[in-house]
């Protein structure tokens, strides 16, 4: 029998119950029947308009949010709760301001009852991997937004997860830094062989980073297109100026525009 896919989503849906003024609840479908697989070691990015259900999809994969229907499997095993094989990096500053970089990275490992010297060593290695050697003893307020997000990445990597789930991790970072840190993320991905599922609403970032892009429709979010990005593995910022890059971004803009226009039309019908 073939071995199970690394991460597999089978008709995964999510319905939230929204409380109304009169105490009743109204159901809204946020994610609709997402069926996709991610092979081990792949870098997949999800793009879609704000509010389409991207974070909801990721939080279900992280085991933080139960699915309403369908099946969600990691190496053939259903994901029902947060799992040590999953590392999360969020958009907001999620590192502790009262701990220095090393303590922040070490924290999760210490929670796992690893001996302290081993925690320190692994944390130091993770900080080095994200390019923060020399900043181990700096506090978050002494680091730039981009460096703080690197600490968050190091913290996730130190736990040695099989898959890294990243929810718009560089959204608060300026566009230039965002692309440079993206280059670093690709280097880390290639060095570690981790599977990455990355969320963004930035088309350039999606094309620059990934091997495969899933385009989500507006709510209820469903995957309307999967685009394979066949650009060289060795990607430098200079790739942004190439025709091949522009072809991918142009195509994605067209898909997003068609989706936007169709939602405008249905809104007019309802008016």
Ligand X SMILES: Nc1ncnc2c1ncn2[C@@H]1O[C@H](COP(=O)(O)OP(=O)(O)O)[C@@H](O)[C@H]1O
178-217 residues near ligand X, rule: CB under 6 A? none
- Of 4, 39, 51, 76, which lies in the binding site for ligand X, with binding defined by CB under 6 A? 51
User: Min. distance of Cβ 219 from ligand X in angstroms?
Assistant: 6
Distance between CA atoms of 113 and 118, rounded to whole angstroms?
10
Distance, CA of 51 to CA of 218 (rounded, Å): 7
Position 55 contacts ligand X (CB under 6 A): yes
Strand ranges (E), the chain? 7-19, 25-38, 43-47, 69-74, 77-78, 86-89, 163-167, 195-200, 212-216, 223-228
**CB 53, min distance to Mg ion, A:** 8
What CA–CA distance (Å, rounded) separates 93 from 151? 10
Q: Which among 44-52, 87-95, 189-197, 226-234 is the span making contact with ligand X, rule CB under 6 A?
A: 44-52
Touching ligand X, residues 4-43 (CB under 6 A) = 16, 18, 30
Pick one of Mg ion, ligand X, none as the site partner of residue 18 (Cβ within 5 to 8 A by kind): ligand X
CB of residue 256 to ligand X, shortest distance in Å: 13
Residue 139 three-state SS: coil
In whole angstroms, what is the distance from residue 208 CA to residue 235 CA? Answer: 8
State in angstroms the smallest separation of the CB of 48 from ligand X. 6
| Residue 186 or 219 with smaller CB distance to ligand X | 219
In whole angstroms, give the CA distance from residue 216 to residue 254.
13
- The CA distance from 48 to 51, in Å, is 8
Cβ proximity to ligand X, 136 vs 202, nearer residue: 202
Q: What is the CA radius of gyration of the chain?
A: 19
Query: Does 54 sit near ligand X (CB under 6 A)?
Result: yes
Q: Which does 16 bind (CB under 5 to 8 A by kind): Mg ion, ligand X, none?
A: ligand X
Size of site (CB under 6 A) for ligand X? 12
The CA-based diameter of the chain, rounded to the nearest angstrom, is 64
Tell me if residue 259 falls in helix, strand or coil.
Answer: helix
Per-residue binder mask for Mg ion (CB under 5 A), 39-78, x = binder: ---------------xx-----------------------
The C-alpha atoms of residue 229 and residue 225 are separated, in whole angstroms, by 13
Angstrom distance (rounded) from CA 246 to CA 119: 44
Among residues 36, 56, 124, 210, which is the contact residue for ligand X, using CB under 6 A? 56
CA neighbor of 89 nearest in space, from 7, 10, 166: 166
The stretch among 54-62, 77-85, 125-133, 172-180 that binds ligand X (CB under 6 A) is: 54-62
| Cβ distance to ligand X smaller for residue 162 or 202 | 202
Binding-site partner at residue 14 among ligand X, Mg ion, none, CB < 5 to 8 Å by type: none
Binding site for Mg ion (CB under 5 A): 54-55
Binding site for ligand X (CB under 6 A): 16, 18, 30, 48, 50-56, 219
């Amino acid at each position: 029998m073939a071995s199970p896919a690394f991460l597999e989503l089978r008709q995964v849906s999510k319905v939230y119950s929204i409380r109304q003024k009169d105490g009743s609840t109204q159901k809204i479908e946020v994610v609709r029947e997402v069926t996709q697989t991610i092979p081990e070691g792949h870098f997949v990015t999800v793009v879609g308009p704000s509010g389409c259900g991207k974070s909801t999809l990721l939080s279900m994969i992280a085991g933080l949010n139960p699915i309403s229907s369908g099946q969600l499997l990691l190496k053939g095993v259903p994901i029902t709760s947060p799992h040590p094989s999953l590392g999360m990096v969020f958009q907001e500053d999620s590192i502790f301001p009262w701990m220095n970089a090393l303590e922040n990275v070490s924290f999760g490992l210490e929670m796992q009852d690893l001996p302290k010297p081993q925690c320190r060593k692994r944390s130091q290695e993770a900080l080095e991997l994200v390019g923060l050697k020399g900043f181990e003893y700096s506090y978050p307020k002494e680091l730039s937004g981009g460096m703080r997000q690197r600490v968050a990445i190091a913290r996730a990597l130190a736990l040695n997860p099989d898959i890294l789930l990243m929810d718009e991790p560089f959204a608060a970072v300026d566009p230039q830094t965002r692309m440079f840190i993206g280059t670093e993320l690709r280097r880390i991905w290639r060095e570690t062989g981790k599977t990455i599922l990355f969320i963004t609403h930035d088309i350039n970032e999606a094309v620059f980073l990934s091997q495969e892009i899933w385009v989500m429709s507006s709510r209820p979010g469903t995957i309307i297109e999967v685009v394979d990005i066949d650009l060289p593995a060795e990607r430098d910022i200079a790739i942004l100026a190439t025709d091949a890059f522009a072809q991918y971004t142009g195509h994605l803009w067209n898909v997003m525009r068609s989706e936007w226009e169709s939602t405008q039309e249905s809104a007019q019908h309802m008016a």
